A = this chain, B = another copy of it.
Amino acid sequence: MDFKEKGLLFVLSGPSGVGKGTVCRALRERGTDLQYSISVTTRKPRAGEQDGVHYFFKSKEEFQAMIANHQLLEWAEYVGNFYGTPLQYVQDTLDEGKDVLLEIEVQGALQVKQNFPEGIFIFLVPPSLGELKKRITNRGTESLKLIENRLNAARDEIEMMKHYDYVIENDQVDCACDRIEAVVVAEHCQQARIIEKYKRLTEVD
């Protein structure tokens, strides 16, 4: 009889420069009850960096083996070094009943979605919608070029956000954090998850 509820994987992503890292750090400082994924990397440790705390440090050969053995939820190469998210660490943390937050670029998030579709995907967007409204409604006072640029960016964002479950505007870091916390609570109250718990309980005999 194991009644332990598994944790949920939340993936926070969005266009570059939107402030994913800042929001993530703010959630950490608040003490939000989320575990943060630790990346695997082939780059050398910097002063003070500890294996298994800041990163899992691996050789290129070890990293290639992890790719070959499907042990990474996603991976990418930056300036000659490899970075990835270890499936085992995420899985173990979820099995302990803890929620995991993974902050990641859009391409990485799409890889995670393929490998872990049961994750909950959150797209962070710039605080643009309200601004854009004002610009369009007062169009005389704004450069048409600026509006056009922002409209094109918004169209690109729509294409990206289609792959996500939630879209959160990063108007203020604190508000964005509040919304992410609300998503975490609401997801745990989803009917299908609760029925799952009830069923395991009532079918025991």
A residues in contact (CB < 8 Å) with B: 1, 3, 123, 125, 129, 132-133, 136-137, 151, 154-155, 157-158, 161-162, 164-168, 178-179, 181-187, 189-191, 194-195, 197-199, 201-202, 204
Contacts and interface: CB of A to CB of B under 8 A. Distances in A.
A189 B123 CA distance: 10
Q: Report the copy number of this chain in the oligomer.
A: 2
Contacts of A123: 191
Contacts of A3: 133
A187 B185 contact: no
Given A154-B198, A198-B154, A165 B136 contact: no
28 contacts: A1-B136, A1-B137, A3-B133, A129-B197, A129-B198, A129-B201, A133-B201, A136-B204, A154-B198, A157-B198, A158-B199, A158-B202, A161-B191, A161-B198, A162-B191, A166-B186, A166-B190, A167-B189, A167-B190, A179-B186, A182-B182, A182-B184, A182-B185, A182-B189, A183-B186, A185-B186, A186-B186, A186-B187
